Amino acid sequence: MKAKQARLDRFIRRQLNLPQRDVQLLLARGQVCVDKNVVNNGQMIINEFSHIVVNDQVLQALTPKYVMLNKPKGVVSATKDPQHKTVVDLLGPGDHADLHIAGRLDFNSTGLLLLTNDGRWSRYLASPENNISKRYRVTVEKPLNEDYVNAFSEGLFFAYEGITTRPAKLEIINDYEAEINLTEGRYHQIKRMFGRFQNKVLALHRLAIGPLALDTNLAEEQHRALSEQEVANMLHHSE
C-alpha cells in the first residue's frame, strides 16, 4: 500500500492492523524508522516515497522513478493498449506497473516523453499555473509566413471549448518548418492551431519540456533515467 500524504500512526495502524495504543507504544519505544531515522511522532506526515520500517519489518519502500524516452512514430502514449505497442513496452523487461505518462504525445508525434511514478511531480508539470513550456519542431504542408507568428502570439479562439489559447511563440526555421513554445497542452492543440490556416501538420517532434531537452544521445525508442538534478530543475522553472 502506498501512503500519499498520510499520518504516520494511521498508516502503521492500517498496515499492521493494530489498535492506536499499540502503535503509540511502538513509536515511544523507538521501534519505528522513517527514511532510516527513528521517529516518535505519530502525527508526522509521510508520502508514498517515505521508507518506513517497524521492528525491522519494511512496510513501504517505494523508489521514485523518472524516465526520459525518445518516442518514435506509431507508438501509443499509454501504459496498456490491446492493439498497439505502447511507450511502456519500449522500456523493456522490468516492473513498470506503477509508471504513468507526464504529458502524452499523439500516436504519430515523436520526441521527448516523460514517465514517472511520482504523481505530484507530473501534476506540477501539467498545471498551466506553473507555466512549464513545451518546445516542438513542426513540419507543415504549406509555406509559413509572419501571419502565423502573429496569430500564435495573440492566441487562437477554439469555438468548441469556447477558449482562446495562451500566447505561443512560433519561430520560422524555413518555409515548411518552425519551432513552437507553448505553456499548455490542449487536445491536438498544435494541429488545430495550424488547422486555422488550413495547413496540415506533417510531423510534430517534442524537443523539450521546461529546462529539460531531449537527450541527443538517445535514439528513437531508447530511454534513460533522469538525474536528481534534472528532476529538481523542473520544479524550479517557469517561463
Catalytic positions: 106
SS3 label, residue 63: coil
SS3 label, residue 6: strand
Query: What is the DSSP-derived secondary structure letter of residue 68?
Result: E
**44, 194 in Cβ contact below 8 A?**
no
Cα 35 to the chain's mean position, in Å?
A: 25
At 198, list the grid cell: 488550413
**59, 12 in Cβ contact below 8 A?**
yes
Residues in the chain: 239
Short-list 166, 145, 146, 147, CA closest to 155: 166
Gap between the Cα atoms of 42 and 234, Å rounded? 32
Gap between the Cα atoms of 204 and 209, Å rounded? 14
